[in-house]
Amino acid sequence: MREVSIIGVGMTRFGKFLERSMQDLGREATWNAIEDANVPVKDIGVVYVGNALAPQLTELKGTIGQHVLTEAGIFGMPVINVENACSSGSTALRGATLEVASGTCDVALALGVEKLFCGDTARSAAAMAQGTTLAKFGFMFVALYSMQLRKWVEQYGVTKEQFAKVVVKNSYNGSLNPYAQFRKPMTIEEVLNSRVVAEPLTQYMCSTMGDGAAAAIVCAKEIARRYTSKPLVDIAACELVSGTFTFPDEAHEPITSRAARRAYEKAGIGPKDVNVAEVHDGMAPAELLLYEELGFCKPGEAGRMIDEGRTTLTGTIPVNPSGGLAAKGHPVAATGLAQIAEIVWQLRGEAGPRQVSNKPRVGLTENAGGWASDDNAACAVTILKRWE
């Protein structure tokens, strides 16, 4: 298998764009990535397109990728449309990486695109309520998550204030990110005093709907220099697993830990080697739990980690410098590739006012999707290394 580098990334701003189509969003992210990579379209051998909810929300009911790419003026090559709920974007990256690594082509495009705002918020919300047994009883995602969460809160002594600190950190980072949906820094009080969605979760602890797209161009490392003179970022691992989200002490190992273990092994590194990370903070407590599951701290130490500011832009291991899902927004299938874009910019030193201060060489993304209560989830952990 050949080594694979990311030679270009691009994204749209995330937000509520009633006037823009999914195709339009996909076109912008795709061309941003192509221009960043300086690669001619004819050199792109295969395209993976992640999308999760278009069949419910738009009139496009199949071959979503082809519809989006045609709008971007790109067609002819194999297009593989992939879906893995919120981890659809990472699934697209994994596919593109495998194509290049195995030599089916030298350059591949991974695109994640989502259009959730359709002018009828109730319809959008319904589309996102997955069809499980529990959903039939009215248990929406946040309600279930909060129920599972309480046991962890009790056992490990994490506090609502610590959840709020995650949002404070991420909203500050988002305020520095021109691609973020929400750019207002928040205080602990604002987070704690926002509307309770499902105790202990308040409104600002939960990510919202968004429209947007993000893309990456991957390339065989051996020829990457034909295209770009920017620092090369290698894909050291892109590991996907399926299974169950669990909290500590439950019967199964959390899907996130399993994915992380595989990724660290593949990349030949450990958690201590990671300099910057983008993680899936669909709810603020998830970020704390992920500090532990990804090995950034020991079990039970996540609360102290946020208290000590170790994951801020100037901390020892900045987490969600982009603002994360909470501030940057969460257009489902675009999220995984937006995380990749952020890490590439951070490793290249191109993140502007939100550039982390530890001169990162190794970055990690964690992108999880699926329903919390069933065995139907997916999780991808990707490790990127700056090469030169």
Active-site annotation, residues: 86, 330
Rounded to a whole number of angstroms, the minimum distance from the CB of residue 196 to its own copies is 27
CA gap 59, 188 in Å, rounded? 41
Shortest Å distance, C-beta 105 to its own copies: 11
Is 191 near its own copies (CB under 8 A)? no
> Is residue 321 within the footprint of its own copies (CB under 8 A)?
no
Question: Considering the rule CB under 8 A, would residue 316 count as an interface residue with its own copies?
Answer: no
Q: How far apart are CA 342 and CA 232, in angstroms?
A: 14
Residues 31, 41, 374, 387: which binds its own copies (CB under 8 A)?
A: 374
**How far apart are alpha carbons 32 and 119 in whole angstroms?**
27
The mark string for 83-112 relative to its own copies (x by CB under 8 A, - otherwise) is xxx-----x--xx--xx-xxxx--------
Pick 76 or 178: Cβ nearer its own copies: 76
- Cα dihedral sign, 307-313-314-316: positive
Q: Of 318 and 336, which CB lies nearer to its own copies in the complex structure?
A: 336
3-class DSSP state of 29: helix
Q: Nearer Cβ to its own copies, position 225 or 252?
A: 252
Bond from prior residue into 231 cis (ω within 30 degrees of 0): no
Adjacency order of strands within the sheet including 46-50:
46-50, 107-114, 212-220, 4-11, 233-243, 377-386, 362-369, 276-278
**Binding track, positions 162-181, relative to its own copies; x by CB under 8 A:** --------------------
Locate 174 and state its tokens. Answer: 């988002």
Binding status of residue 43 toward its own copies by CB under 8 A: no
Q: Which amino acid is at 267?
A: A
From 31, 41, 43, 60, residue interacting with its own copies (rule: CB under 8 A): 60
* Per-residue contact flags (x/-) with its own copies for residues 132 to 151, judged by CB under 8 A: ---x----------------
Q: Which stretch binds its own copies (CB under 8 A): 10-18, 24-32, 75-83, 109-117?
A: 75-83
In three-state secondary structure terms, 369 is: strand
The 8-class DSSP code of residue 312 comes to: S
Helices 255-267, 284-293: axis angle to 10 degrees equals 50
Task: Check binding of 21 to its own copies (CB under 8 A).
Answer: no
**Three-state helix/strand/coil letters over 284-344:** HHHHHHHHHHCCCCCCCCHHHHHHCCCCCCCCCCCECCCCHHHHHCCCHHHHHHHHHHHHH
Residue number, 56 or 358, with CB nearest to its own copies:
56
Q: Is 370 in the site for its own copies (CB under 8 A)?
A: yes
Q: Does 82 bind its own copies (CB under 8 A)?
A: yes
- Which residue from 61, 151, 225, 359 is in contact with its own copies, where contact means CB under 8 A? 61
What span, in angstroms and rounded, lies between the C-alpha atoms of 177 and 152? 32
Please, which residue, 78 or 353, has the CB nearer to its own copies?
78
Q: Which stretch binds its own copies (CB under 8 A): 129-137, 165-173, 179-187, 340-348?
A: 129-137
Residue 132 DSSP symbol: -
Alpha carbon separation from 92 to 110, 230, 361 (Å, rounded): 5, 23, 24
Binding mask 223-262 for its own copies (x = CB under 8 A): ----------------xxxxx--------------x----
**Residue 49 DSSP one-character state:** E
DSSP codes, 198-212? ETTEEGGGB----BE
Q: Does 274 bind its own copies (CB under 8 A)?
A: no
Q: Please, which residues bridge with residue 47 across strands? A: 79, 109
Residues interacting with its own copies, by CB under 8 A?
Answer: 1, 52-53, 55-56, 58-64, 66-67, 69-70, 75-85, 91, 94-95, 98-99, 101-104, 127-131, 135, 239-243, 258, 369-371, 374-378
